[in-house]
Amino acid sequence: MYNKEMETARLAALEAGRIIKGFYGNLEEIRKKGKRDLVTEADLLSEKAVVSAITKAFPDDMIIAEEGGEQGKISDRKWVIDPLDGTTNFAHSFPFFAVSIGFMVSDEVVAGVVYNPVMDEFFEAEKGKGAFLNKKSINVSATANIRDALVATGFPYDIDKKSDEIIGRLKRIIVEAQGLRRPGAASIDLCYVANGRLDGFWEQDLKPWDTAAGSIILTEAGGEISDFSGKGFNPWLKSILATNSHIHNDMLRLMGI
Ligand code: IPD
Ligand code: CA
Ligand code: CA
């Protein structure tokens, strides 16, 4: 149904990944958008390439991109783009970052791609068609208990303003789970729950471009995604809990809302 959209997103993510890889370990300038929030020439050139590919293919669609904000006409068809998710990792040559492109129709995410150019891992999904990693079908894990679960989280850039709440939640989960990671790119964290490398992931204050693409990849792989109170997903939620579905209720309890 969205063949042209998927193909456009695929090619745009591959091109953006090629651009990002060219700067990897080789950055001339790193600017700060906030105390911890970085932006590099790779973020900007990646976004330029993705936006131009999408605008060329779908000139009437709306674009919401991290660096340039809302662009184009107001439309029911929206592209939600993180040109480089995991910029802190990227700036430190830590090979865990991605290009993330989600596509929405009538406020529902219907397609998404997430591409990690260093590992050459390409995750993709279209509504009703399953989720794939490098063209192979993927599914969430069967882990049924938190004590057997490997879970991940992330922290907002302004963590200093709400560290008690965040550390409180982290402590409740860390003592129950088998293991915990903080990989550093929310879009890939969601994909790792989708292919069973992780059993769950939570984070607060994410932005639509962090979660749009990953959300459809996760749900098409059989996962569940909500906010910390169990409310159904939309990319503008203030908090995100994504799991293999089996541990969702237990994780919700530990979110402590
Ligand atoms: C960040 C990453 C990180 C998450 C932050 C995000 P950025 O995105 O996804 O894992 O913890 O909350 O802002 O700034 O690298 O695109
Ligand atoms: Ca991001
Ligand atoms: Ca980004």
Residues whose CB falls within 8 Å of the CB of residue 239, separated by 6 or more in sequence, listed in order: 202, 203, 204, 205, 227, 228, 229, 255
Q: How far is the CA of 213 from the centre of ligand 1 (A)?
A: 14
The two structure tokens encoding residue 222: 């059989």
- CA dist., res. 55 & res. 66, Å (int): 16
Which of 210, 215, 237 has most ligand 1 atoms within 8 Å of CB, for mutation?
A: 210
Q: What is the pLDDT of residue 29?
A: 79
Q: Is 87 in the pocket of ligand 1 (CB under 6 A)?
A: yes
Q: What is the pLDDT of residue 199?
A: 98
Q: What is the pLDDT of residue 161?
A: 87
Q: Is 210 in the pocket of ligand 1 (CB under 6 A)?
A: yes
Q: What is the pLDDT of residue 253?
A: 96
pTM of the model: 0.97
Backbone angles phi, psi at 10, to 5 degrees: -60, -55
Residues whose CB falls within 8 Å of the CB of residue 93, separated by 6 or more in sequence, listed in order: 24, 25
Q: What is the pLDDT of residue 257?
A: 67
Write out residues in the chain with pLDDT < 50, as ranges.
Answer: none
Tell the burial category of 247 from Cβ atoms under 10 Å away from its Cβ (0-12, 13-18, 19+): buried
Q: Is 235 in the pocket of ligand 1 (CB under 6 A)?
A: no
Q: Is 8 in the pocket of ligand 1 (CB under 6 A)?
A: no
Place of tokens 């919401």: 64
